[in-house]
């Protein structure tokens, strides 16, 4: 605890030699785990969210503010005036690829600023925070205490694969094909579905060999196109997650599979094998190697876009979120219990882009998010994980202004629209505090616009350039720094 600085086993002579051997990476990682566990040191903060939910901007501004030590008035060490500073640490051997903090920050601080490139896989970054010691005893050892934080960014899509672990290829194919045939997705999947029908007609199993592999690749390609189209249309519940977010598996041949109806012709056995390979060698290891080591988890959700895209997408997002929440229901899922003993102690769900609506809508935004996963959250609570909900904006890009509209005062937002080069004022509409009903979808009520970023101040200070990022940070890490 307080005395963790005077002895660091990593500095022992043998240890540095160990670090130099790449083959020992995973062994090294386990030792690191052990050291950190005993010294109570590194906190692994996992950040996830579906595509376009603002993970990169969140992590970038969070680290930026931490490095500056400013604009975080609700973060406990700042509140107590004990935060001495923060610095980035070089990655350890065996760490995932580094999070592109510098380039992301550069694009936000450039003139004109632009939203950074989204990240496409697992990446991480290590930080060290130093906090002044206050206790009399602790001060005898050291004036400050340091806390290492590893921020891990991974696509939320990967969590959607969790149900696959309990399914056979047959079950999975049945549910997935049914979903593809649903009214909202039928058109997007048309090409792939007709290819399936064609195979069903011929009823011939392609002979093993190049022909079979070729057919598999074609079908998988059609399926991938469907997933990409669905993703572009705003759908989130797309399995397998690595097809839309391949990460380090981009272009791997064993990813070339897709659901097939039972007894179908075509490369059924091959697909089934690849499915099992995916399930056992990709999904499972993700949970066992990464997910099981997270201490704190924040899930970002872009509710505003989901509302914009209409009912089908909104309900799909809700389904995806509930599936994501399943991953945090350890006790109920014997599956997870079989894999590892999880240790996520804090779970935070945030609705991002809160600056796109007026301040008085933040409360509703939070309530709506809570409402979307109310059942799954209840189950998680039952298992002892307390999900917290919040509405935040990582980089505030609008002001709130009031206008007079036919005798009513309206709360409007002022900012630069994405892709347009002028400042404008709009009444963004209101967020329903509860799940939208039929009427809400019918009358074009949701039409939220995307804004271009405001330039991130390089030297912080003054009014925070975010909304509630400090409070989110405090929930996630505050207790480790008191």
Partner 1 sequence: MKQREQIRPFELDPATLKPDDLEILQPEPDGSLPAPLAPAEVTGARKRPWLKLFLSGAAAFALGVVGLDAYDYTLGLFERSVWLGGVFSTLLALAAIGAFGWVGREVWSLRRLAKVDDLRTEGERLMASEAHGQAEDLLRKVEKLYRERTELDRPIWRFHDQASDALNDRERLELFAHTVFQPIDKQAYQIVKRSGRDIGVLTALTPIGALDSLIVLVRTVAMMRAIARLYGVRPGLAATISLAKRGVRNIVIAGVGDLVSHAAVETAGASLLKILSARAGQGAINGLLAARIGLSVMQICRPIPFAQDELPSLKKLRAEIFKELADGREAADKIG
Q: Does 359 sit near partner 1 (CB under 8 A)?
A: yes
Nearest approach in angstroms of CB 56 to partner 1 is: 22
- Tell me the β-bridge partners of 411: 402
Nearest approach in angstroms of CB 388 to partner 1 is: 15
Give the whole-angstrom CA distance, residue 278 versus residue 256: 10
Question: Which segment (14-22, 268-276, 293-301, 444-452) binds partner 1 by CB under 8 A?
Answer: 444-452
Q: Which residues contact 39 (CB under 8 A, 6 or more apart)?
A: 4
For partner 1, give the closer residue by CB, 63 or 354: 354
Nearest approach in angstroms of CB 4 to partner 1 is: 24
For partner 1, give the closer residue by CB, 235 or 446: 446
Q: Does 393 sit near partner 1 (CB under 8 A)?
A: yes
CB 368 within 8 A of CB 433: yes
Pairing of strands 346-351, 387-391: parallel
Nearest approach in angstroms of CB 15 to partner 1 is: 39
Q: Which residues contact 317 (CB under 8 A, 6 or more apart)?
A: 50, 234, 236, 301, 303, 306, 372
Among 237, 330, 448, 451, binds partner 1 (CB under 8 A): 448
Give the whole-angstrom CA distance, residue 107 versus residue 89: 22
CB 236 within 8 A of CB 161: no
Q: Three-class SS of residue 162?
A: helix
Among 50, 164, 321, 358, binds partner 1 (CB under 8 A): 358
Considering only residues 32 to 71 of the shown chain, the ones binding partner 1 according to CB under 8 A are 71
Question: Which segment (288-296, 328-336, 368-376, 393-401) binds partner 1 by CB under 8 A?
Answer: 393-401
Q: Does 435 sit near partner 1 (CB under 8 A)?
A: no
Q: How many CB atoms are closer than 10 A to CB 192?
A: 24
Considering only residues 76 to 105 of the shown chain, the ones binding partner 1 according to CB under 8 A are 79
Nearest approach in angstroms of CB 143 to partner 1 is: 20
Give the whole-angstrom CA distance, residue 219 versus residue 198: 11
Residue count, binding to partner 1 (CB under 8 A) = 49
For partner 1, give the closer residue by CB, 153 or 302: 302
Give the whole-angstrom CA distance, residue 133 versus residue 144: 5
For partner 1, give the closer residue by CB, 459 or 463: 463
- Tell me the β-bridge partners of 400: 413
Q: Does 438 sit near partner 1 (CB under 8 A)?
A: no
Among 337, 427, 435, 458, binds partner 1 (CB under 8 A): 427
Q: Does 307 sit near partner 1 (CB under 8 A)?
A: no
Among 1, 34, 401, 435, binds partner 1 (CB under 8 A): 401
For partner 1, give the closer residue by CB, 375 or 424: 424
For partner 1, give the closer residue by CB, 79 or 120: 79
Q: What number of residues does the chain have?
A: 482
Q: Does 112 sit near partner 1 (CB under 8 A)?
A: no
Q: Which residues contact 250 (CB under 8 A, 6 or more apart)?
A: none
CB 101 within 8 A of CB 60: yes
Dihedral, 464, 302, 67, 101 alpha carbons, nearest 10 = -140
Question: Which segment (37-45, 169-177, 270-278, 441-449) binds partner 1 by CB under 8 A?
Answer: 441-449
Among 25, 94, 310, 433, binds partner 1 (CB under 8 A): 433
CA distances for 145 relative to 138, 352, 471, angstroms: 9, 32, 22
Nearest approach in angstroms of CB 447 to partner 1 is: 5
Considering only residues 407 to 426 of the shown chain, the ones binding partner 1 according to CB under 8 A are 408-412, 414, 422-426
The H or E element containing residue 400 is strand 399-405
CB 220 within 8 A of CB 257: yes
Give the whole-angstrom CA distance, residue 356 versus residue 361: 10
Among 73, 97, 112, 262, binds partner 1 (CB under 8 A): 73
> What residues make contact with partner 1 under the rule CB under 8 A?
71, 73-74, 79, 354-355, 358-360, 362-363, 393, 396, 399-403, 405, 408-412, 414, 422-430, 433, 443-449, 461-464, 467-468, 471
């Amino acid at each position: 605890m307080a005395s963790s600085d005077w002895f660091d086993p990593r500095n022992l002579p043998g240890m540095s030699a160990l670090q130099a051997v790449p083959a020992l990476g995973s062994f090294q990682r386990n030792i690191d785990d052990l050291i950190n566990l005993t010294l109570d040191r590194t906190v692994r903060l996992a950040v996830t969210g579906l595509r376009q939910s603002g993970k990169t901007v969140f992590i970038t501004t969070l680290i930026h503010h931490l490095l500056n030590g400013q604009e975080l008035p609700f973060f406990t060490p700042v509140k107590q005036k004990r935060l001495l500073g923060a610095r980035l640490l070089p990655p350890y051997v065996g760490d995932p690829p580094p999070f592109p903090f510098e380039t992301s920050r550069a694009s936000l601080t450039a003139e004109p600023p632009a939203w950074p490139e989204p990240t496409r896989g697992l990446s991480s970054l290590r930080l060290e925070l130093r906090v002044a010691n206050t206790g009399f005893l602790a001060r005898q050892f050291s004036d400050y205490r340091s806390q290492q934080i590893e921020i891990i960014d991974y696509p939320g899509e990967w969590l959607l694969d969790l149900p696959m672990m309990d399914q056979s290829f047959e079950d999975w194919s049945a549910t997935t094909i049914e979903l593809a045939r649903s009214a909202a997705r039928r058109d997007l999947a048309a090409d792939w579905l007709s290819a399936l029908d064609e195979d069903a007609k011929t009823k011939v199993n392609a002979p093993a060999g190049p022909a079979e592999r070729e057919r598999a690749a074609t079908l998988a390609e059609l399926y991938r196109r469907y997933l990409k189209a669905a993703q572009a249309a705003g759908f989130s519940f797309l399995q397998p997650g690595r097809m839309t977010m391949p990460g380090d598996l981009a272009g791997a041949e064993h990813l070339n599979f897709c659901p097939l109806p039972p007894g179908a012709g075509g490369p059924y056995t091959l697909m089934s094998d690849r499915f099992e390979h995916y399930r056992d060698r990709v999904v499972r290891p993700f949970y066992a190697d990464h997910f099981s080591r997270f201490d704190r988890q924040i899930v970002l959700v872009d509710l505003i876009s989901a509302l914009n895209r209409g009912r089908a997408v909104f309900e799909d997002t809700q389904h995806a979120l509930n599936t994501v929440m399943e991953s945090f229901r350890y006790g109920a899922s014997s599956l997870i219990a079989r894999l590892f003993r999880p240790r996520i102690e804090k779970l935070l769900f945030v609705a991002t882009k809160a600056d796109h609506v007026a301040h008085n809508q933040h409360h509703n935004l939070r309530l709506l998010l809570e409402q979307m996963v109310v059942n799954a959250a209840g189950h998680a609570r039952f298992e002892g994980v307390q999900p917290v909900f919040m509405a935040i904006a990582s980089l505030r890009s609008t002001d709130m202004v009031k206008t007079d509209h036919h005798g009513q005062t309206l709360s409007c937002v002022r900012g630069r629209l994405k892709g347009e080069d002028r400042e404008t004022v709009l009444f963004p509409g209101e967020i329903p505090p509860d799940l939208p009903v039929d009427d809400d979808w019918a009358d074009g009520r949701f039409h939220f616009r995307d804004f271009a970023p405001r330039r991130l101040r390089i030297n912080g200070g003054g009014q925070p350039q975010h909304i509630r990022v400090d409070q989110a940070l405090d929930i996630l890490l505050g207790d480790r720094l008191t």
